[in-house]
């Protein structure tokens, strides 16, 4: 299924039912009094985070979603029934914002999380509500309140632990297929992935992490060039970036160092926080480099790229070097998860501004 990460929808909660004007008509009761009931509440619109979904494609072709209105009040003290609610299933990681202002309204971050995105209108009052000692036969009623109506933008940010970064044809799809359960399209000719792929990497029966293959970046991506710029935001929630480098490009005139620097520049221009994320260098396609030249080519790349961080030498095609890489990734991700879950030490508010006098 094609990955659809943006959609626009219009939602309408149900209007409340109108109140009723009615009087009791019973034999031998000349002044029966008012018995008009209230209208029913309009239906709400809920959004639920469904872990079984990974795309917003359902909302690309179904834009209008309306809950039922409440029933009107009736005589004999009968209140109208509430309108039926509707629940919209969305992938975990969906951000819901106002389509006109761009203001972020809600985020679905936890599987099974349910939020109310549009409230139904309250029902109107029947004349039974207006009965008093000085108004024994009220003829007043109120209409139901309108339900919320909104135009929303849905945006899906992939909730992956690790994101693959690199130029088109760097071997990211081959790598994710080698280490995870994802099966992206792979070919022996130059082409770029058209949509993100998610894969679960299992290190042990109860040890795993999620990896995302993002479409390749090109120079100018931060300004909107190419496909990758549409998906840069998916990397914002990852704990680690793997910068995949093609060490054996098809064209001998292509300089891997220049390509790597171009990617880093695009990352920095797009989002400084993304640029500051932990980033590892993964030198791929070393199976295509003669064995006696590998060490020298790797050393030359690291020196000219002026890289001081972790470096992994792999061949995604033959899976050489992949095992140490995924174990190192798991240890890093696990350490970050533990750090995020560590309790925050409470500070006495009396001393929050500095050392006590």
Same domain assignment for residues 232 and 100: no
Please indicate if the annotation marks 192 as binding a ligand: yes
Smallest Cα–Cα separation from 73: which of 28, 21, 120? Answer: 21
pLDDT at 8: 92
Same domain assignment for residues 150 and 205: no
DSSP output for 103-144: -EEEE--STT-EEEEEPPPPPPPPGGGG--SS-SS-----PP
Please indicate if the annotation marks 169 as binding a ligand: yes
For residue 122, is it within any domain?
yes
Most distant CA atoms of the chain, gap in Å:
111
Q: What is the mean pLDDT of residues 293-322?
A: 90
Residue 228: pLDDT over 50: no
For residue 352, is it within any domain?
no
Q: Does residue 196 or residue 12 have the better pLDDT?
A: 12
**pLDDT band at 83, cuts 50/70/90?**
very high
End-of-domain residue from the set 127, 156, 185? 156
Please indicate if the annotation marks 224 as binding a ligand: no
CA distance 125 to 154: 36
CATH of the domain at 207: 3.40.50.300
For residue 58, is it within any domain?
yes
DSSP assignment letter at 289: S
Residue 74: pLDDT over 50: yes
Please indicate if the annotation marks 167 as binding a ligand: yes
Same domain assignment for residues 8 and 106: yes
| DSSP β-bridge partners for residue 10 | 64, 151
Same domain assignment for residues 314 and 215: yes
Please indicate if the annotation marks 348 as binding a ligand: no
Are the C-beta atoms of 175 and 244 separated by less than 8 Å?
Answer: yes
Please indicate if the annotation marks 29 as binding a ligand: no
DSSP assignment letter at 352: T
CA distance 349 to 242: 41
For residue 57, is it within any domain?
yes
Please indicate if the annotation marks 286 as binding a ligand: yes
Could you tell me how far CA 242 lies from the centroid of its own chain? 21
Reported residue count of the chain is 357
**pLDDT band at 144, cuts 50/70/90?**
very high
In the structure encoding, which two tokens stand for residue 216, read together? 């390749």
Same domain assignment for residues 169 and 149: no
pLDDT at 159: 64
Please indicate if the annotation marks 213 as binding a ligand: yes
Please indicate if the annotation marks 126 as binding a ligand: no
Q: What residue numbers bound the domain in which 34 lies?
A: 1-156
Extended strands (E) in the chain:
6-12, 45-50, 64-66, 86-91, 94-98, 104-107, 114-118, 149-156, 162-165, 197-204, 207-213, 240-246, 279-284, 311-313
Please indicate if the annotation marks 171 as binding a ligand: yes
**pLDDT band at 342, cuts 50/70/90?**
low
Same domain assignment for residues 105 and 170: no
Same domain assignment for residues 151 and 296: no
pLDDT at 192: 47
Q: What is the mean pLDDT of residues 269-275?
A: 77
For residue 49, is it within any domain?
yes
For residue 151, is it within any domain?
yes
Same domain assignment for residues 121 and 229: no
Please indicate if the annotation marks 222 as binding a ligand: no
Same domain assignment for residues 33 and 174: no
Q: How far is CA 348 from CA 99, 220, 344, in A?
A: 42, 49, 13
Residues 6+ apart with CB under 8 A from 283: 245, 247, 298, 301, 311, 312, 313, 314
Please indicate if the annotation marks 214 as binding a ligand: yes
Q: What is the mean pLDDT of residues 107-131?
A: 91
pLDDT tens digit sequence for 207-218: 778 887 776 554
Same domain assignment for residues 174 and 134: no
Cα R_g (the chain), whole angstroms: 30
**pLDDT band at 92, cuts 50/70/90?**
confident
Counting Cα atoms < 13 Å in the Cβ hemisphere of 41 gives: 10
Q: Does residue 209 or residue 81 have the better pLDDT?
A: 81
Q: Does residue 159 or residue 35 have the better pLDDT?
A: 35
Burial of 61 (0-12, 13-18, 19+ CB in 10 A): exposed
| DSSP β-bridge partners for residue 208 | 202
Please indicate if the annotation marks 215 as binding a ligand: yes
**pLDDT band at 222, cuts 50/70/90?**
very low
pLDDT at 217: 54
CATH of the domain at 68: 2.70.210.12
Could you tell me how far CA 144 lies from the centroid of its own chain? 35
Smallest Cα–Cα separation from 164: which of 270, 109, 238? Answer: 238
b/e sequence 151-178, b meaning 16+ C-beta within 10 Å: ebbbbbbbbbbbbbbbbbbbbbbbbbbb
CA distance 9 to 47: 12
Q: How many domains does the chain have?
A: 2
For residue 349, is it within any domain?
no
Please indicate if the annotation marks 287 as binding a ligand: yes
- Proportion of the chain above pLDDT 70, given as a percent: 81
Q: What is the mean pLDDT of residues 49-57?
A: 78
For residue 348, is it within any domain?
no
b/e sequence 229-253, b meaning 16+ C-beta within 10 Å: bbbbbbbebbbbbbbbbbbebeeee
pLDDT at 355: 45
Please indicate if the annotation marks 77 as binding a ligand: no
Please indicate if the annotation marks 147 as binding a ligand: no
**pLDDT band at 200, cuts 50/70/90?**
confident
CA distance 350 to 28: 75
Average pLDDT of the chain to the nearest whole number: 80
Among all chains, which residue has been given the structure tokens 């975990």?
92
Same domain assignment for residues 240 and 309: yes
Same domain assignment for residues 170 and 92: no
Q: What is the mean pLDDT of residues 43-70?
A: 87
Least confident of 137-141, 297-301, 305-309, 343-347: 343-347
pLDDT at 188: 47
pLDDT at 354: 46
Rounded to a whole number, what is the distance in angstroms from the first to the last CA of the chain? 64
- Proportion of the chain above pLDDT 90, given as a percent: 28
């Amino acid at each position: 299924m094609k990955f659809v990460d943006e959609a626009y929808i219009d939602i309408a909660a149900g209007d409340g039912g109108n109140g009723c004007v009615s009087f009791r008509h019973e034999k031998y009761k000349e002044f029966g009094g008012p018995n008009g009931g209230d209208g029913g509440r309009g239906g709400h619109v809920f959004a639920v985070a469904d872990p079984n979904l990974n795309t917003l494609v359902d909302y690309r072709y179904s834009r209008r979603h309306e809950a039922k209105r409440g029933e009107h009040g009736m005589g004999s003290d009968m209140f109208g029934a509430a309108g039926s609610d509707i629940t919209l299933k969305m992938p975990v990681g969906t951000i819901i914002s106002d389509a006109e202002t761009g203001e972020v309204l809600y985020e679905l971050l936890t599987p099974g999380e349910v939020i109310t995105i549009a409230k139904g209108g309250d029902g109107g009052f029947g004349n039974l509500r207006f009965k008093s000692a000085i108004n024994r036969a009220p003829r007043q009623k109120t209409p139901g309140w309108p339900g919320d109506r909104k135009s929303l933008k849905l945006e899906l940010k992939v909730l992956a632990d690790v994101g693959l970064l690199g130029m088109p044809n760097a071997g990211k799809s081959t790598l994710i297929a080698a280490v995870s359960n994802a099966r992206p399209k792979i070919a022996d000719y130059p082409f770029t992935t058209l949509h993100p792929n998610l894969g679960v990497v299992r290190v042990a029966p109860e040890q795993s992490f999620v990896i995302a293959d993002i479409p390749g970046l090109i120079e100018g991506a931060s300004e909107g060039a190419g496909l990758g710029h549409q998906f840069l935001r998916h990397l914002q929630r990852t704990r680690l970036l793997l910068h995949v480098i093609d060490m054996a490009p098809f064209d001998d005139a292509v300089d891997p160092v220049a390509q790597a620097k171009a990617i880093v520049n695009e990352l920095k221009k797009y989002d400084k926080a993304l640029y500051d994320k932990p980033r590892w260098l993964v030198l791929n396609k070393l199976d295509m480099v003669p064995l006696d030249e590998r060490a020298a080519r790797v050393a030359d790349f690291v020196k000219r790229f002026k890289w001081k961080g972790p470096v992994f030498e792999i061949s995604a095609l033959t899976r050489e070097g992949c095992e140490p890489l995924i174990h190192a990734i798991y240890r890093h991700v696990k350490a970050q998860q533990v750090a995020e879950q560590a309790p925050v030490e409470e500070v006495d508010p009396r001393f929050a501004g500095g050392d006590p006098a």
